[in-house]
Structure 1
Amino acid sequence: MATPSDAKPTYIYKLIPTSAAPPDPLPERLPVSDLDQTDGFIHLSTAHQVPNTLNWFFKDHAQVYILRIPYDPVDENIKWEDPKAEVCGPRGGEGMFPHLYNGFKLGKDEVESVQLWENGPGGWDSVLQAAEAWLVY
C-alpha cells in the first residue's frame, strides 16, 4: 500500500463516532465536532491513515461512521499538515494529514458514501480487511 508522497489520493475519509451519527440523507452541512471547531478545520485521513486513526482515536468505540470524500472536488481547500496544523509538508507524507479549510462545509455535496463499521473482538483489523476494496487511496 506504499504510495509516493506526491501522489494525489482518490478519496479522503472522515471518521465520526456513533454519538454524532450523520443524518440520512446527508444535509448540506454536517454538524462540526468540537475538535474541528476548536482547530478551525475538518480533520480527515487518507486510506493509509484510517487504520491508525481508528486504533488511536476510536479503539474503544463499538462502531464508527466512515465518510468517503472524493479528493478532486475539495483539493483546493485541503492543506497537508501534521495533526495540529503546525507543519505543512508534502501531500500524503508520513504524518501529514489532509485538513479541510472550507468554512466547515462537509455534507451531501462532498461525501460520496458512508459506511458504518463495527469493531470486532480482535479490534479494527478484520473490519479493515473486509473494507479493503472501499478504502481506496
Structure 2
Amino acid sequence: MAASLPTYLYKLVPSSAPVREPLPERLPVSVIDQQSGFVHLSTSLQVPNTLRLFFKDEPLVYVLRIPYDHVAQNIVFEDVTGRRGPRPDEGLFPHLYNGLKLGREEVESLSLWSNDGGWEKALDAARPWLLY
C-alpha cells in the first residue's frame, strides 16, 4: 500500500501508436481510454504489472512521465469495480478525468522502452527515471 501520493504518474503507449516529439497539445486517445471516458495511468509501483498484463507482446512501449501536481485536480484512484480511494493503495489506479486530454502541458518527459530481453531488463535500466 502506498503511504503517500505519488510525485509522478505514467502513461504507457504501445508502439503501434507512436508518440512523436515535440509532443502535441493533445495526443491521440486510445480505444480503451475513449470507451472508459478517462485516461488510464499507473504509478511507478504499478508500471511493472501494467507492462506484464497489458503490453506483454509489445516490442516497444512509449512511457510518458506526468508530474502528479500537474493533473492532481483531475485524478481519481479507482479499481475495475469502481471502488475509489484518496490515494493509490492495493489495486487502485490513477484515472485522469479531464476530457481525455494528455499532451505537452501534462507530460514532463518521454521514454521509449524495448521488450527485447523482457520488460525486467527495461525496468532495470529505467529505475533512475521511474520514480514514485
Same fold (TM over 0.5): yes
Decide which of 109, 115, 120 is 1:119's aligned counterpart: 115
Q: Where in structure 2 are there 5+ consecutive unaligned residues?
A: none
What is the match of residue 98 of structure 1? 94
Q: Report SS of the residue matched to 2:6.
A: coil
Distance 1:93 1:104 in 2: 24
Alpha-carbon offset, residue 90 of structure 1: 3.8
Distance 1:58 1:81 in 2: 20
1:1-137 to structure 2, matched below 5 A, reads 3-4=2-3, 7-82=4-79, 84=80, 86-121=82-117, 123-137=118-132
Over the matched positions of the two proteins, sequence identity in percent amounts to 60
Q: Where in structure 1 are there 5+ consecutive unaligned residues?
A: none
RMSD of aligned residue pairs (Cα, Å): 1.2
Q: Report SS of the residue matched to 1:129.
A: helix
Q: Report SS of the residue matched to 1:55.
A: helix
CA contact (8 A) 1:90 1:96 kept: no
> What is the number of equivalent residue pairs in this alignment?
132
Q: Once superposed, which parts of structure 1, at least 4 consecutive aligned residues long, lie more than 3 Å away?
A: none
Alpha-carbon offset, residue 3 of structure 1: 3.6
TM-score by length of 2: 0.96
Alpha-carbon offset, residue 94 of structure 1: 0.5
Q: Report SS of the residue matched to 1:12.
A: strand
Question: Can you list the C-alpha shifts for 1:17-40, whole angstroms capped at 9, x where unaligned?
Answer: 011111221111001000000000
Alpha-carbon offset, residue 13 of structure 1: 0.1
Question: Can you list the C-alpha shifts for 1:45-104, whole angstroms capped at 9, x where unaligned?
Answer: 00000000000001111110000000011000000001x361102411010000000001
